[in-house]
Structure 1
């Protein structure tokens, strides 16, 4: 397995306020995520368009604006069309039961990068690390990135990090990037990166205070990743 030698990428997900984006100016962040699936962080296409416009004037990693990620769960092509007609997303992130064939169709039809989120397993299966990692083979050539998360997603809980090497090995084998999510925070991300070195990390609730994005926590998280 070839270890990544570049800085891990940072995605801050679940953004809902333009002031949050403005406060992130100058931070080493690569992606910002807008949630279109049912969630307390859900935004409309119109709200996301306003947020993306605000993001275009903010300079983050290497003085560039962040790339915009739309998070969906089992969307129809019609739903994706409705959203993309309003907000030109850079990435579609799929969190449901979307098949590799569906992912390929999304990429081909809309000309966007596609990410697939998969549950890492919680230790209840006979061999969740092997079973979970083997799924990545099906997504080679269908998506650019696989994001592994705690089962259920958006729980604020970590999964068993010792399963990560199996996912990294499969990701490298099939030409995929691997992002890790689930229960990350400014307090534990340095430990994660020192031990496993995924291509990127994705955080939402871990940079919130009482359900609202906290600029100080976002800055601490991004800067600790950048120093790793």
Structure 2
């Protein structure tokens, strides 16, 4: 399977343990203001649960923290309590900021590029982050909205990400019913789902398993 899978917005260890054996590459915890927000202390327990899993390639999934314009010291405090593998930045973080976080905190950095009307070209947005990030992610503006954007944009963003040597993940309104269409038509390096695997706002292990199965079947 070539498409990487990230499940985001996790809040309980039971759901994480239910992912054991699934070909999931990353799981995410939201530290930004959100109904899915977790504390550093809660995330530390969830990370411990994740470390016991055998997922993609028989390895534990990498753990990702979702932040919006965090102060470096606040980010440092979170990482002390919750040893995340990746920091995913959803705000207006500059390339210089991303480089600083990678260098000073020794953590991988993913940068999210929200898709809105009237955006600058993909290459113009992503090129300045060369050497500053480890992956690019595109998402519907607002994040966690359950809404898709125009997938015709994926090709340009994938090309721009390739040009700086990083993978491209796609998020925004994905679920078990549409993810295969995205993967077949646009071949992103990875997919990122949150609300699409929830029932009544709570992560649903059955939907997670179905979503993963749809991605993996190609």
Normalising by the residue count of structure 1, what TM-score does the alignment of the two structures yield?
0.93
Q: Secondary structure at the match of 1:96?
A: coil
Contact kept, 8 Å, 1:178 with 1:199, in 2: the verdict is yes
**143, 155, 162: which one aligns with 1:165:** 155
Contact kept, 8 Å, 1:120 with 1:132, in 2: the verdict is no
Question: How many equivalent residue pairs?
Answer: 218
Residue 152 of structure 1 and its aligned partner are, at CA, apart by: 1.3
> 1:153 matched to which residue of 2?
143
Structure 1 position 57 matched with structure 2 position 74: no
Q: Secondary structure at the match of 1:186?
A: coil
Structure 1 residue ranges without an equivalent (≥5):
1-5
Residue 133 of structure 1 and its aligned partner are, at CA, apart by: 3.9
> 2:126 matched to which residue of 1?
136
Structure 1 position 20 matched with structure 2 position 24: no
Residue 174 of structure 1 and its aligned partner are, at CA, apart by: 1.4
> 2:204 matched to which residue of 1?
214
Residue 57 of structure 1 and its aligned partner are, at CA, apart by: 1.0
| C-alpha distance in 2 between matches for 1:111 and 1:227 | 35
Contact kept, 8 Å, 1:179 with 1:202, in 2: the verdict is yes
| C-alpha distance in 1 between matches for 2:166 and 2:128 | 11
> 2:180 matched to which residue of 1?
190
Normalising by the residue count of structure 2, what TM-score does the alignment of the two structures yield?
0.97
| C-alpha distance in 2 between matches for 1:212 and 1:152 | 19
> 2:106 matched to which residue of 1?
111
Residue 41 of structure 1 and its aligned partner are, at CA, apart by: 0.3
Structure 2 residue ranges without an equivalent (≥5):
none
Contact kept, 8 Å, 2:22 with 2:55, in 1: the verdict is yes
> 1:3 matched to which residue of 2?
none
Say what the alpha-carbon RMSD is for the aligned residues: 1.0
Contact kept, 8 Å, 2:122 with 2:160, in 1: the verdict is no
Structure 1 position 42 matched with structure 2 position 32: no
Moved over 4 A (4+): none
Residue 59 of structure 1 and its aligned partner are, at CA, apart by: 1.1
